[in-house]
Amino acid sequence: MSPRLKVQIGLKPQHQTAYRLQTEEAFLNENLVNGYSVFLLPITNQLYKELCKSYFQSWSKSPGEHEHSVDSLHVPNPELKHTDISTGKHVQHTVGLISSWIELDSDDIVISEFSFQAFYNEVSFANYLGIKTFMLSPPKNINNVQIFSSNIAKLLDLLPSIHITISLPMSQDLQDKNLSYFDSYSTWGMWNSIRLICNYHPSLSVSLGAPKSNIPSAILDRWLLEPIKFYLISASKFIPNAKCYPVLHKFNQLIIWKLIQYKALDPPVLMLHGVDRVKTTHSKHQNPSPNTMKEVDDNSKSTFLSYIQYIVNSSYKSDLLPRLHDFTIAALQKSGISKSTLFSPYILQSPIEPIVDNLENETYKVFEQDSFKYEQYERAIMKALVDLHSSWTSNSKPHILFLGPGRGPLIDRFFSALDLLSVSSKDFIITAIERNPNVMILLNQKNVKYWNSEVRIVNADSRGYAHLDYKARNPKFNMVISELIGSFGCNELMPECIDSISTADLCDKNCIFIPQDLHCYVSPVFCPKLWKFASLTSADKLYVPMLPEMEILLDFPKEVWKFESKVRQTTLENTATIFHSFNRHNSRQCRVSMEPTRKGLTHGLAGFFSSTLYDDVIVSNLPKPPGVDDAVSWLPAFFPIENPLNLYDGQEISLFIRRVCSLDSVWYEWSVECFLYMLAPSSNNNTNLTGTPPATPSPDRNQTSKLPPSLLMTRGDSEKANDETLLKQSVEMDRNQNQSIHTYDDASLYVTKSFNENASSASSQADYKVRVCTGLSRVHNLNGTGFKFRLV
């Protein structure tokens, strides 16, 4: 569980309370001592509304050439009597509440300009007093979100030092009987539109109201990835317990706990409102009625405030986050990372390049905190040693290699496994090859102190080991142990490193490799914060975020490729040639299509891995539920796309990713396409796409369709067919018929023929499926122009 962090509690007071907060310093101090730290106060009062209304009526009735021109609109600024906010100690604890009568979403240009000026006047005045954060009601007309958002963007540009937060409900109320259609993502969709129009402005956030009823967990998970400034809890959300003290429903408690845990590095303010207007209808000596709640306790402290403080303090007793996320937050808190760093592109780290870079001591320390990973390695080593012992027939000692041991945690686990098996380390030849010269002193110290000086430590690049004299004096390897796995599995070049040592001249034919294999996975992800920072740097890079702030838009990531560690039948004479010139065998390519389980926005791909260490012992960074033991040293990889793509119900998404290997480097290329299928009548029907009969009936199913051939697919037995299958069919037809394509027209007719022949296999009543592209990204990092992993 992450260490505790102070969570602020705020109050939206009633008029009388607000007046006392500003005029009575003792009353303000009392509230601050009790636990309130933020107060939400209206900037202007009813008198300013009347002033603006009177001015607008007068302006609209005034004659002249400029009668209907917005150029003549000059909304008056608030004066002393129009505001209840004044300078004082309270200002540093104040959030400004924008007047709800201001219509920033009006499609009438005059009213829109009038509203913007009033909006500007309120914010400008409060900003002058020292108030920097302002809360704004959502648009009244959802159809005018663009107008509303453009006015916000305009103000943020004019006053760059302020922060605006939009108050919204978490979700539509499931119990609202007036709803003809329920969309659990509707309010998030409104916020997403506002955010997109304002171009992910860093000074724009959302404030969420506590729901009346329970909401789907997917909705809460979506909101957790957004910049939540305040969580608004009204008095109406509380219910009395058996002693008439206010409490929240269990679902609202869980929401608060998860908000605090997930956003521990920057938690939202818990804002109470309406709690200072609850009337106490009984004295201390009277039994209250079941429907009333005690407003204050015996010490005159708000019972609502006391309860929220209790909820905050108890939030750390429940583990609601996956272990990886919880561990990462705790590590960042311990590091003392600043909030400015957390909200900067710095949180997007470049992947490690162990072949050319020497890791720092602190990096090794972080990796070594992953106790689950090393426990799994120890289990795998024990199983491998048992199997090696049972099959060992030679009189010589088995030769164990540790490839890239770093500071030696895997060697520690090897000796621990020997102790558990009651096997002597003297029965083995143990070698460790480490390229980083900076860890040599530590490795030699541990060798003397902990490993009985039985580990032969070689400071060299494994790719040159075959040419060392040391190799000639020692037998082949019988077991190779390494931990060269990256966030995406192969991004730390494990396949290339294993290749350099897995030749028949260096390894016994029955050599055991730990890990045995490596499986790589991808999934479309929603991650607005990470995408914004990537857009400020480069969308052609692979990143490893400091925090896994992303939502997987599938039930589970899709596997794209795998690597297996095994002895290659290669001799020493051509090892270098194969590694440097023919690394193309480690290239991979995959395109997978799937239907997202959640609608929203995809900002790119997340990369994961799963690796079988030995037998049934596995490590991975695939998503896991809270409470499940998991490796914590591998955060998901992030492949951004330049422009996010919308995902709707019924859409499908196609992910393309390629691993390219060249003479001196390795890189990834990726692209995303969103599409959906629409039904179109077959040529057997008497109507076309417009619903009218065709001019000339065509009995020939193989005749070229009027639809673009690249869009035609059939519904029926060939439902699962895709473009790739059809292309293979067309290539096979070409081989069989010995035909050749010479021109674009030939190619078009040729592919059309393939589609139509595929369609003719369906029943006569089958309909066509028209594949409609709804979004497409370019190929990112083409030819490694954005980044490459260096081999030399």
- Structure confidence by residue, pLDDT tens digits, 616-667: 999 999 999 888 888 998 999 999 999 999 998 888 999 999 999 998 899 9
Give mean pLDDT, residues 146-160.
96
Q: How many residues does the chain have?
A: 792
Q: Apex CA 183: angle with CA 163 and CA 671, to 5°?
A: 75
Q: Which has the minimum average pLDDT: 217-231, 360-374, 560-574?
A: 560-574
Give the domain 361-674+783-790 fold: Hnrnp arginine n-methyltransferase1 (2.70.160)
Round to whole Å and give the CA distance between 306 and 523.
43
What pLDDT does residue 9 have?
95
Mean predicted confidence (pLDDT) in 260-283: 79
Give pLDDT tens digits for 445-460: 999 999 999 999 999 9
| H helix and E strand count, the chain | 21, 29
Selection from 300, 299, 303, 282 nearest residue 291 by Cα: 282
Mean pLDDT, the chain, whole residue set:
84
Pairing of β 588-594 and β 558-564: unpaired
At 758, the pLDDT band (50, 70, 90 cuts) reads very low
C-alpha torsion sign, points 156, 159, 161, 162: negative
Helix/strand/coil for 620 = strand
Main-chain phi, psi angles of 441, to 5 degrees = -65, -45
- Angle, helices 323-335 vs 250-262, to 10°: value is 50
Residues 119 and 111: their CA atoms lie apart, in Å, by: 12
Most confident listed range (77-81, 161-165, 300-304, 732-736): 161-165
Nearest to 489 by CA among 404, 390, 326, 606: 606
pLDDT category of residue 747 using cuts at 50, 70 and 90: very low
Tell which residue, 776, 759, 665, has the closest CA to residue 704: 759
Check pLDDT > 80 for residue 149.
yes
Whole-angstrom CA distances from 418 to 118, 612, 659 are 77, 21, 39
What is the reported pLDDT for 66? Answer: 52
| Contact residues for 520 (Cβ-Cβ < 8 A; gap 6+) | 488, 489, 490, 559, 560, 561, 562, 588, 607, 608, 609
pLDDT at residue 764, as a whole number: 44
pLDDT, position 84: 83
In this structure, the strands spanning 429-434 and 399-403 are parallel
CB atoms within 10 A of CB 50: 11
Query: What's the rounded Cα separation, in Å, for the pair 168 and 385?
Result: 59
Of the candidate ranges 357-361, 428-432, 675-679, 787-791, the one whose mean pLDDT is the lowest: 675-679
Q: Hey, how many other C-beta atoms are within 10 angstroms of the C-beta on 560? A: 23
d(CA 268, CA 264): 9
Residues 102-135: tens digit of each pLDDT: 999 999 999 999 999 999 999 999 999 999 999 9
Q: How far apart are CA 249 and CA 254, in angstroms?
A: 9
Query: 456 pairs with which residues across the strands?
Result: 431
Please state, for a pLDDT cut of 90, what percent of the chain lies above it: 60
C-alpha dist (Å) from residue 630 to 213, 414, 622: 33, 21, 9
The per-residue pLDDT for 707 is 41
Which CATH number is 9-318 given? 3.20.20.150
List all residues 6 or more positions away from 655 whose beta carbon is below 8 Å from its beta carbon.
Answer: 522, 524, 558, 560, 591, 592, 593, 594, 605, 670, 671, 672
On the 0-12 / 13-18 / 19+ scale of CB atoms within 10 A, 87 is: exposed
**Residue 603: band (very low, low, confident or very high) from pLDDT cuts 50, 70, 90:** very high
- Here the tokens at position 398 are 């088995």
